[in-house]
Structure formats: C-alpha cells, structure tokens
Amino acid sequence: MKKGIENHGSVTSTNGDLKRLFLSLEGMFITLVAVIIGLLLPEDILSRFPVLEDFVRGVGSHFPQVVAYQRKSAFPEVAGLYFATLLCITPLLLVYFIRDRDCYLPRMCAEFERRPFRFLFGVLFLMALSFWCLLDAYTRADGFSYKSASIATSRLALTTVGFFFAGGSAWGSVASVFLVISAIFYKKSTRG
C-alpha cells in the first residue's frame, strides 16, 4: 500500500461497513421507520388516519410503484404507507455516504491504483446499474418482489427486505457512483 493509506487502520477493511451504516443516524432512522411501519402499525392504519391516506395517495401519484405494491399486498394499507414513507426517506443514504466518504476513499484509491481497468469497468457498471435502479424504482408501475422473500405476503419480509425495493437499492447505487467518482478525483488531487 502507498504511504497514507496504511495509516487508516481498519478503514481499509470491509468488515465494519454494514455495521457502520446501521449504526449511523441515517441508518438507524431508516431502520426504525421500517420496523415501526412494517411490524407495529395496525393493518388498517390508513383508514384510521385519513391524513396518512392523503400522504400515500400523493406520493403514489408521483411514484406508481406505491400503488402497485398496495394492490399486490396482503396488507395494502401498511404496504402503501411503507413504500410511500421509505421512498421519501431513503435519499438519506446519500447524506450518510457523503458524510462518511473519508472512511471509504482510501480503500477505493488503493483499489484504483492496483487494478485501474477493473476499477473503471466497475464505475461504468455502477453507473448503468444506478440509472436502471432509479428508472425502475421510480417508474415501474406493476410492483415486484423476489420469490424467496415475498414482501407481498409477509410483514416481516416487508420490514427486512422491502427497504431495497423502496428506494434503498437505487439510492445506494447512486451513492456508490458518487463515492467512485470522488475516489478518482481524490486520487488526482493527491498526485498533483
């Protein structure tokens, strides 16, 4: 490793990345909201609170997947509130990755130095994936879920895996592209 990178200690290790995300304020907030909506709220939450129904309808008018998941779900009111709320708060992932980018940049720069072509291929792949995830997450009107984790029939699956369908994968991809581009510019600025 180059000078300066070895001084970051465990930062070059990937073991604590997921733990760091879930222990951040953004990660804890998103997880807490997902657990409260997915597991603790009653199934008729929108009938009890019309203002929440208006919120879900408003978000659903901009993001058709909210209505699609509501239609396919065994608990439509909970699913509608879950997707509407998480689509609004998952952009917090960008805040987390921008704030904590110093934890990731040294490791990414070392990888860029070691395998530049593989790194650049990964950048192009992440950019294409980000574009597809955002396009799919915000324009798909039929809803979908994996057969192994059916978020349409299980509130536990909705709580644990639904996050990825409700914007988590899309904003995570955008944040990854941001980090990769930051690593490239970070590397250029440290050279010159």
Condensed to tens digits (0 to 9), the pLDDT of residues 119-174 reads: 788 778 877 877 776 676 566 655 655 545 578 888 998 888 888 778 777 777 77
In a domain, 179, yes or no: yes
Is residue 70 within 8 Å of 76, Cβ to Cβ? yes
* Number of domains, the chain: 1
Q: Say what the alpha-carbon torsion angle 82, 41, 150, 125 is, to the nearest 10 degrees.
A: 30
Helical residues (DSSP H) of 140-168, grouped into ranges: 155-163
In a domain, 2, yes or no: no
What percent of the residues of the chain are helix, what percent strand, and what percent coil, each to the nearest 5? 80, 0, 20
In a domain, 89, yes or no: yes
Q: 77 lies in which domain range?
A: 14-191
Q: Measured between alpha carbons, how far is 19 from 35 in angstroms, rounded to an integer?
A: 17
In a domain, 4, yes or no: no
Q: Measured between alpha carbons, how far is 45 from 161 in angstroms, rounded to an integer?
A: 21
Give the pLDDT score at 6. Answer: 39
Mean pLDDT along residues 177-181: 76
Give the pLDDT score at 1. Answer: 40
In a domain, 180, yes or no: yes
CA distances (Å), origin 167, targets 25, 120, 182, 186: 18, 25, 22, 28
In a domain, 7, yes or no: no
- 12 confidence band (pLDDT: 50, 70, 90): very low
Give the pLDDT score at 11. Answer: 42
In a domain, 143, yes or no: yes
In a domain, 1, yes or no: no
Is residue 97 within 8 Å of 183, Cβ to Cβ? no
Q: Which tops the pLDDT comparison, 113 or 130?
A: 113
